[in-house]
Amino acid sequence: MALRVAEEGLSSCSGCEVAILNLGERLLALAPQLDFVHMPLLMDHKYFGQLGDGDLKRLEIPQAELGLVSGGVRNQEHLEVLQAMRANCGTLVALGTCATHGGIPALINGLANAELMERYYRGCETNDPAPDPTETVPPFLERVYALDEKVKVDIYLPGCPPHPDHIAEAVLAFLEGREPALPHKSVCDACPTVRQGKGQLKSVRRFLQNAQYDPAKPIADMRCLLEQGLLCMGPVTRAGCSGADGEAPRCLKARVPCRGCYGPVRQNGNQMLDMLNALASNGIDIKTLPDRAGGLLRFSGAHGRLRPRPAAK
Amino acid sequence: MAKTINIQPVTRIEGHARISIQLDDQGRVADSKLHIMAMRGFEKFIEGRPAEEVPRIVSRICGICPWMHHTAANKAVDQCFGAQVPPAGRKLRELMQVMAHISDKILHFFFLAAPDFVMGAGADYKIRNVLGLAQAAPELAAQVVKMRQAGQMMLERFAGKVIHPVAMVPGGFAKPMSQKERDELLAGAGEQLEFAKFCMKYAKENVFAKLDQDALSLGRITTGFLGLVDPADGSLNLFDGALRLMKPDGSYLDFNCRQYADFLGERVETWSYGKFPYARVWGEGFSMDLEAPKGIYRSNTLARLNVCDRINTPLAQAELEEFRRRFGRPAQSTTLYHWARLIELVYACERVLEILEDETITDPLVRNPVEPRAGRGVGCVEAPRGSLIHDYVTGDDGCIASANMIVGTTHNLAPMNMSVRRAALDAIKGGQVSEEALNQVEMAVRCYDP
Amino acid sequence: MAFEPKILAFSCNWCSYAAADLAGASRMQYPANLRIVRVMCSGMVHPNLVMEAFSKGADGVMVLGCHPGECHYLDGNIKAQARLAVVEEMLDAYGLEPERFRLAWCSSAEAERFVEVVTEMTEAVRGLGPNPFRPTRPEDAQEVA
Ligand code: SF4
Ligand code: SF4
Ligand code: SF4
């Protein structure tokens, strides 16, 4: 019998779902073994009956062996969908960094909801100012939560988005009844750049001009970007973006520094704390870094990591 | 008895939405709404971030069209910092952005929309999707999956990251293109163009040929249109240009993107987190009344083909001419969004080849250094789903002081609400609600590919 | 009930812990709010530990080491000093007052100084009130189903 799969996106961007589609022909090959019973991006199963006349208090998700959820939890609807997914899926996968650590949308956790509403519905140049929408739309929660702040998560698949190789590995391992083999080291570990020690570095600079490298030569000949004085989050970020047999981390392939989109190396690590500590221990003045909280917790602001500043209260 | 029907979630679309339809005691459609259920607040939370980082953040607005946000943001930051982008940097940017249109259109047409036409609007929902399509037409599906994948991999091989890209940077591009990369892309782009021609032919024979009067009037409304055109000759331009706002009668105003707030406004309704842009400059206010709409214009593929005077690539221009002969200008039928989408697919493939054929694209100077400073920038591109506007103000430290954005889909929120109403009125009669009728209401939404 | 702050002190084995011992042996009074964790060197106290203490509800955290130049491991206390900036930064990000953390030096003979700094710290934190970061709202407690 085919494996029943349910998929949902909460406070998400659909990029994780596109990453699934980017399995390409591998997805077609897997398709006969999978039975997608629910996946709003691709198929038409509805929460409240196919005729839209169901009880709004009973959100329906079909039973499935495997559930994939992308996105964090931002409003009441997300919470209800997540709880229904948990209740109906045997194994629940947090798909993507929004689901595992809040992701980019959790940057809002540095602000109070009221500030957001004020700006969005009354402050923008093009706006005809009006009260916040409140009718028939799901109320906001106080902030953005990662899935495991609300329900139990069985498998964590971070990445913004996760590499298709690892999505395939998670599904295949499940089909074969084994633990998925996922990377657990840091991005630096998968990075081929040349490391010679930091030299006289006392500060890190903003990415206002390109890194120094010879475009005719491979990435393995480029000096580590952190050693070049650019902030690179590789040391404190979970490896994975280079895929199963990738040449280099994705951003490094474009010759730009890592910004930490796979979240911390350990699921409960703190990218900001670890990066500041790494810089400070190497004698780099951390005050030379602009936007420290928003920059270093760019992808992992859930779990109470990013909070409104007292001054903003 | 009066009741409310909830289509939730609206499926095979990019975002998160719900449709509610109120039936009165006689079972007639009394009201309907398309609700946007969430708002993430990018405008607010990019405040205080160093502007050069923002193009890597706002890409997360949409994982289907991240290149569009990446491009618009870079253009806005360039202006804030007064950066001059070297010619090769500019070419690489346009190349990436137009290439991203290609995979997007294949995704939308075949993965999201086509099941309604190929499997049938009333087919069992369990097979009315791309996987059902793969079983019904395995060769077609294999070809589609392969070509979409090839397009994504072309971007990925050159630019490192295809979903949530990082290769564009304020001042230009992060890496130059080698001759080898150019050759590979040229070969790939040639195949994409062949595939685009095949798609057009396939759709004309199997989908568009079957569009009868009923299908063409699905969710029909009469509105104005908005899109970028090349200021030199009024031709279609996805990457840069002036905004053209056309009235339903075909008359239009062209304006510089920086002035968008003088021409467009946004309404807030109590029942949707999405805001409703409207043509402020028409001075008629805002109304979604089907009989007497006010301030309503549309964006996205059909809009672009309506506002442009011509297309500067030969195959797409021939398609446009045929399209105009049959449907006039501006064409109003909502279903024609799909047709227009495939014409743009042909254009995008031709344009990519054109850009790649320019050998100066391999020039090693792709980025000029930028200096953080106070300024304002408005970056505008045509995203698959409509005109995308990013407006940033930076402080002296080069960090974002304030930001406003109007994303492609948002322009179409009012028209989509109207098309939903129209489709519901037409499909639901005498309280008879069927799965097919409800799917037709969603099909009206899918035309806009929100 | 009056607020009694909980303060956690990481004290190094060679200097400040010995000072605490001496204070105890000399029957000097110091606030009962203090919980002391003995570490071999102040340089061992990773900012992670400090932040974890806050996230578990400590109202104040101290790291107490030897005077500069007197470190048993040569430069452990200098490392602790470099990491101070990290803790300050983290407190700021978490919306906590910088006064909730203090790094101080005292030698094994300075029982009086030990009593003085911990008393000062206790009073300062008492003035700040409870750690707002302490999970009190049910929203913040993990609702693991
Ligand atoms: S993890 Fe990234 S790709 Fe996935 S939903 Fe979040 S923002 Fe989108
Ligand atoms: S710091 Fe960045 S450039 Fe250096 S090794 Fe790590 S990932 Fe590579
Ligand atoms: S290099 Fe870093 S930011 Fe870039 S894709 Fe990899 S983990 Fe994400």
Closest Cα to residue A152, out of A109, A94, A72? A94
Chains interfacing with C (3 or more CB pairs < 8 Å) = A
Q: For the residues B363-387, what does the mean pLDDT come to?
A: 98
Structure tokens of B314?
């030969």
pLDDT, residue C134, reads 65
Atom 6 of ligand 2: nearest residue by CA position: A188
Say yes or no: CB of residue A105 within 6 Å of ligand 1. no
Compute how many other C-beta atoms are within 10 angstroms of the C-beta atom of residue B179. 10
Q: Is the pLDDT of residue C145 over 60?
A: no
User: Could you tell me the CA-to-CA distances from A14 to A95, A147, B64, B386 in Å, in that order?
Assistant: 11, 16, 6, 18
**Does residue C143 lie in a domain region?**
no
C residues 17-46 closer than 8 Å to A (CB):
46
Q: What is the ipTM of this complex?
A: 0.96
Domain edges within chain B: 3-36
- How close A255 comes to chain B (CA, Å)? 6
Structure tokens of B367?
């980025």
> Considering only CB atoms, which residues of chain A are within 8 Å of chain C?
83, 86, 141-142, 148-152, 270, 272-274, 276-277, 280-281, 283, 285-287, 292-293, 297, 304-310
User: Could you tell me the CA-to-CA distances from A49 to A45, A94, B4, B178, B435 in Å, in that order?
Assistant: 8, 26, 13, 54, 10
Which ligand is nearest to the Cα of residue A249, counting in written order? 3
pLDDT, residue B1, reads 66
pLDDT in tens, A27-53: 999 989 999 999 999 999 999 999 999
pLDDT in tens, B71-93: 999 999 999 999 999 999 999 99
- How close A213 comes to chain B (CA, Å)? 10
Q: Is the pLDDT of residue B341 over 50?
A: yes
Q: Is the pLDDT of residue B201 over 90?
A: yes
Structure tokens of A77?
């609807």
Predicted confidence band of residue C138 (pLDDT cuts 50, 70, 90): very low
Beta strands C34-39 and C7-12 are parallel
Structural domain total, chain C? 1
Q: For the residues B288-306, what does the mean pLDDT come to?
A: 97
Are B148 and B107 contacting, i.e. CB atoms less than 8 angstroms apart? Answer: yes
Residue of higher predicted confidence among C92 and B440:
B440
Structure tokens of B130?
């791309």
- Residue A196 forms contact with B (CB below 8 Å): no
Burial (Cβ within 10 Å: 0-12, 13-18, ≥19) of residue A220: exposed
pLDDT, residue C1, reads 60
**Does residue C37 lie in a domain region?**
yes
pLDDT, residue C143, reads 36
pLDDT, residue C142, reads 42
Q: DSSP of B391-424, one letter per residue?
A: EEEE-TTSBEEEEEEE-HHHHTHHHHHHHHHHHH
pLDDT, residue C137, reads 40
Ligand 2 atom with the shortest distance to the CA of A188: 6
Residue with tokens 């793969």: B134
Report the alpha-carbon angle B411-B413-B419, nearest 5. Answer: 120
pLDDT in tens, C76-85: 777 778 788 8
**Does residue C144 lie in a domain region?**
no
Are B261 and B402 contacting, i.e. CB atoms less than 8 angstroms apart? Answer: no
Helix (H/G/I), strand (E/B), else coil: B336: helix
**Does residue C137 lie in a domain region?**
no
Structure tokens of A2?
């085919």
Predicted confidence band of residue B41 (pLDDT cuts 50, 70, 90): very high
Chains interfacing with A (3 or more CB pairs < 8 Å) = B, C
Residue of higher predicted confidence among B239 and A25:
B239
How many angstroms is it from B165 CA to the middle of ligand 2? 18
pLDDT, residue B446, reads 96
Chains B and A lie in contact, requiring 3 or more CB pairs less than 8 Å apart:
yes
**Beta-carbon contacts below 8 Å between A and C:** 69
Predicted confidence band of residue C67 (pLDDT cuts 50, 70, 90): confident
How many angstroms is it from B417 CA to the middle of ligand 3? 39
User: Which regions of B44-179 does DSSP assign to beta strands (E)?
Assistant: 168-169, 172-173
Structure tokens of C101?
């953390």
Report the alpha-carbon angle A16-B47-A292, nearest 5. Answer: 80
- What is the span of the domain harbouring residue C37? 7-131
Rg (CA), chain A: 21
**Does residue C70 lie in a domain region?**
yes
User: Could you tell me the CA-to-CA distances from B138 to A20, A222, B131, B145, C88 in Å, in that order?
Assistant: 19, 45, 10, 10, 60
pLDDT, residue C141, reads 42
Ligand 2 atom with the shortest distance to the CA of A187: 7
Report the run of H or E that residue B277 belongs to, with start and end.
Answer: strand B276-279
Say yes or no: CB of residue A188 within 6 Å of ligand 2. yes
pLDDT, residue B351, reads 98
Q: Which residues pair with B382 in a beta bridge?
A: B387
Q: For chain A, which domains are there? A: 3-176 (3.40.50.700), 184-306 (no CATH)
Q: Is the pLDDT of residue C43 over 50?
A: yes
**Does residue C103 lie in a domain region?**
yes
Q: Which residues pair with C61 in a beta bridge?
A: C8, C101
Say yes or no: CB of residue A98 within 6 Å of ligand 2. no
Q: Which residues of C touch A283 (CB under 8 A)?
A: 82
Residues above pLDDT 90, as percent of chain B: 95
- Greatest CA span in chain B, whole angstroms? 71
Q: Is the pLDDT of residue A246 over 90?
A: no
pLDDT in tens, B122-147: 999 999 999 899 999 999 999 999 99
How many angstroms is it from B109 CA to the middle of ligand 1? 23
Q: For the residues C4-13, what does the mean pLDDT come to?
A: 92
Ligand 3 atom with the shortest distance to the CA of A241: 6
Q: Where are the alpha helices (DSSP H) in B137-219?
A: 138-159, 179-206, 213-216
Select from C47, C140, C144 the Cβ nearest to the Cβ of A304: C140
Compute how many other C-beta atoms are within 10 angstroms of the C-beta atom of residue A79. 18
Closest Cα to residue B281, out of B343, B355, B224, B203? B224
Are B352 and B99 contacting, i.e. CB atoms less than 8 angstroms apart? Answer: yes
**Does residue C40 lie in a domain region?**
yes
Which ligand is nearest to the Cα of residue A232, counting in written order? 2
**Does residue C11 lie in a domain region?**
yes
- How close A16 comes to chain B (CA, Å)? 7
Q: For the residues B215-239, what does the mean pLDDT come to?
A: 96
- Mean model confidence pLDDT for chain B: 96
Q: For the residues C45-74, what does the mean pLDDT come to?
A: 87
Q: Is the pLDDT of residue A313 over 50?
A: no
Say yes or no: CB of residue A193 within 6 Å of ligand 2. yes
pLDDT, residue C42, reads 83
Residue of higher predicted confidence among C67 and C127:
C127
Per the CB < 8 Å rule, is A304 touching C95? Answer: no
Are A252 and A258 contacting, i.e. CB atoms less than 8 angstroms apart? Answer: yes
- Tell which one of A188, A210, A259 to mutate to probe ligand 2, the residue whose CB is within 8 A of the most ligand atoms: A188
pLDDT in tens, B142-199: 999 999 999 999 999 999 999 999 999 999 999 999 999 999 999 999 999 999 999 9
Q: Which residues of A touch B273 (CB under 8 A)?
A: 133, 137
Q: Report the alpha-carbon distance of residue B32 to residue B71 in Å, rounded.
A: 36
Burial (Cβ within 10 Å: 0-12, 13-18, ≥19) of residue B337: buried
